[in-house]
């Protein structure tokens, strides 16, 4: 059957294209992950990828100055003062931003590579999806649309041609006087109907299973909160440590939302929002930061005009909307990850320092968890005091490392993929 064969070929090519596009960005995922961790740990307090912060936006930095040469970049990062002495470009940066870059003497060349890999990755692929800053449609999705449209047009052309072909055949048969039964119209042709049904089944099945898998997941969930609380202003611009408010994450399974008295530690003194950038909500309406602080005062029962009369015991809790929800049969422990595992908050919560109202960045699916458990290396070298002494009982792995049978131990190796690590 010629038509179905050609369609099959087309579908195959289409699938192949999708496949290529979906894998192309996974190249050097490990470097990017390592770079991300470094970036969040060291750079993120001053730099953002796409926007100016305390320091310049780092997107596209390899196109600027001599930074394409990572050795130059390393020299600058390791000792900015020395580098700047003989380099007018960086002197200009200091003039523009008002302060000199902090020195990071312990960064290595490989790490610079990782960081740059992350920056490039974040600048090109992820940023447009995440932030409101994204200009133009992301490349991948536009390609998909183009390919989709092309396949559709080609499919229609193929159908028309087939129809033409059969008409011509009929005409030639008529001309030659061969009597044939009338061709079956398209909508009655069983082959077409079967193909159409199969196609519908496949498409419906794809969407159905995808929807079923996605049930209960809420990636990109960004509810309106009772107070417009900007993490960008607090954790980004003002660089308040995550653990100042979410200190519970260090101790317990819950990160816990700070109580009103923690907010009031600072906001007793800070009553208005004046200096920071303008804030917008999802619809683009401007937010009055001072009014939002006033909402906090209402919950706290605090009168800014009579600060000495404040009675913290009269405060009422704020009913925040919970964004990151795990099913009840999942045990997740924050302290396990950030304290024992030394994972950065941003690894799961995204670039929280750039978000105004928080939204869920990861889909929090089991596959996503497991993937990290597969890749994440643990602090294994207890002997040189960088690692956790707990792991000293894994004698065999230590021997294997010594004998170069394995180079690192991942969470997976110590049972991190087992059911009862998270489900009990």
User: Residue 347's closest CA among 317, 328, 315, 371?
Assistant: 371
Site stretch for another protein (CB under 8 A), options 8-16, 76-84, 134-142, 415-423: 415-423
Q: Which of residues 38-67 bind another protein (CB under 8 A)?
A: none
CB of 258 to another protein, least distance (A): 6
Site stretch for another protein (CB under 8 A), options 155-163, 168-176, 248-256, 287-295: 248-256
CB of 62 within 8 A of CB of 68?
yes
Q: Alpha-carbon distance 359 to 350, whole Å?
A: 9
CB of 406 to another protein, least distance (A): 11
Contact between 423 and another protein (CB under 8 A)? Answer: yes
CB of 299 to another protein, least distance (A): 8
* Vertex 274: Cα angle to 230 and 346 (nearest 5): 25
Site stretch for another protein (CB under 8 A), options 39-47, 76-84, 123-131, 385-393: 385-393
Q: Say which DSSP state 376 is in.
A: P
Instruction: Indicate the residue among 146 and 340 with the shorter CB distance to another protein.
Output: 340
Instruction: Indicate the residue among 6 and 248 with the shorter CB distance to another protein.
Output: 248
Angle in degrees, 0-180, between the axes of helices 29-38 and 366-375, rounded to the nearest 10: 90
Q: Figure out which of the listed residues 113, 138, 223, 271 binds another protein, where binding follows CB under 8 A.
A: 223
Residues of 43-75 as b/e, b for ≥16 C-beta within 10 angstroms? bbbbbbbbbebbbbbbbebbeebebeebeebbb
Q: Figure out which of the listed residues 309, 328, 384, 407 binds another protein, where binding follows CB under 8 A.
A: 328
Q: Hunting for tokens 């009579």 — which residue is that?
A: 306
CB of 328 to another protein, least distance (A): 6
Q: What token pair was written down for 290?
A: 């001072």
CB of 401 to another protein, least distance (A): 12
Q: Which of residues 252-311 bind another protein (CB under 8 A)?
A: 252-254, 256-262, 299
Q: Alpha-carbon distance 137 to 78, whole Å?
A: 37
Contact between 4 and another protein (CB under 8 A)? Answer: no
CB of 67 within 8 A of CB of 74?
no
Q: Figure out which of the listed residues 112, 315, 369, 411 binds another protein, where binding follows CB under 8 A.
A: 315
Instruction: Indicate the residue among 89 and 390 with the shorter CB distance to another protein.
Output: 390
Inter-CA distances, 258 with 198, 228, 317, 382, Å: 54, 15, 10, 34
Contact between 196 and another protein (CB under 8 A)? Answer: no
Q: Alpha-carbon distance 224 to 193, whole Å?
A: 48
User: What is 285-297 written as a DSSP string?
Assistant: -EE-HHHHHHHHH
Contact between 388 and another protein (CB under 8 A)? Answer: yes
Q: Beta 279-280 vs 286-287: how paired, if at all?
A: antiparallel
CB of 70 within 8 A of CB of 76?
no
* Backbone torsions φ then ψ of 211, nearest 5 degrees: -65, -40
Contact between 316 and another protein (CB under 8 A)? Answer: yes
CB of 377 within 8 A of CB of 408?
yes
Beta bridge partners of 279: 287
CB of 319 to another protein, least distance (A): 5
Contact between 419 and another protein (CB under 8 A)? Answer: yes
Site stretch for another protein (CB under 8 A), options 11-19, 186-194, 317-325, 343-351: 317-325
**Residue span 334-373 as binding mask against another protein, x where in contact by CB under 8 A, dash where not:** -xx--xx---------------------------------
Q: What token pair was written down for 293?
A: 């602080």
Helical (H) or strand (E) element with 71: helix 70-78
The contact set with another protein (CB under 8 A) reads 211, 215-216, 218, 223, 248, 251-254, 256-262, 299, 312-313, 315-322, 325, 327-329, 331, 333, 335-336, 339-340, 388-394, 396-397, 413-415, 418-421, 423-424
């Amino acid at each position: 059957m010629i038509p179905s064969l050609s369609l099959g070929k087309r579908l195959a090519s289409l699938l192949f294209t999708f496949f290529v596009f979906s894998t192309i960005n996974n190249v050097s995922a490990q470097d990017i992950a390592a770079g991300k961790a470094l970036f969040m740990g060291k750079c993120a307090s001053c730099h953002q990828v796409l926007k100016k912060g305390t320091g310049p936006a780092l997107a596209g930095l390899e196109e600027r100055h001599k930074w394409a040469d990572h050795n130059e970049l390393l020299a600058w990062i390791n000792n900015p003062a020395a580098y700047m002495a003989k380099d007018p470009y960086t002197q200009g940066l200091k003039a523009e931003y008002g302060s000199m870059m902090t020195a990071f003497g312990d960064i290595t060349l490989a790490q610079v590579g990782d960081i740059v890999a992350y920056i490039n990755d974040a600048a090109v692929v992820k940023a447009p999806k995440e932030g409101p800053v994204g200009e133009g449609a992301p490349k991948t999705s536009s390609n998909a649309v183009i390919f989709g449209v092309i396949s559709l047009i080609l499919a229609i052309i193929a159908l028309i041609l087939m129809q033409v072909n059969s008409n011509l055949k009929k005409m030639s048969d008529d001309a030659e006087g061969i009597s044939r039964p009338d061709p079956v119209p398209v909508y009655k042709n069983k082959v077409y109907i079967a193909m159409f049904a199969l196609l519908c089944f496949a498409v419906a099945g794809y969407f159905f299973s995808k929807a079923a898998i996605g049930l209960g997941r809420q990636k990109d969930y960004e509810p309106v909160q009772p107070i417009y609380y900007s993490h960008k202003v607090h954790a980004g611009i003002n660089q308040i440590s995550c653990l100042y408010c979410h200190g519970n994450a260090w101790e317990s399974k819950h990160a816990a939302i700070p109580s009103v008295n923690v907010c009031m530690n600072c906001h007793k003194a800070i009553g208005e929002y004046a200096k920071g950038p303008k804030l917008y909500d999802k619809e683009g309406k401007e937010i009055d930061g001072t009014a939002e602080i006033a909402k906090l005062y209402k919950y706290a029962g605090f009168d800014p005009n009579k600060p000495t009369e404040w009675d913290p015991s009269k405060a009422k809790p704020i009913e925040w909307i919970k964004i990151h929800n795990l099913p009840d049969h999942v045990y997740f422990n924050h302290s396990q990850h950030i304290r024992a595992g030394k994972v950065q908050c941003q690894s799961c919560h995204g670039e929280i320092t750039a978000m105004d109202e928080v939204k869920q960045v990861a889909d929090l699916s089991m596959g996503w968890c497991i993937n990290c458990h597969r890749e994440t290396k643990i602090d294994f070298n207890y002997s040189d005091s960088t690692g956790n002494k707990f792991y000293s009982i894994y004698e065999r792995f230590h021997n294997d490392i010594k004998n170069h049978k394995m180079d690192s131990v991942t969470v997976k190796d110590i049972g991190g993929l087992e059911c009862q690590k998270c489900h009990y």
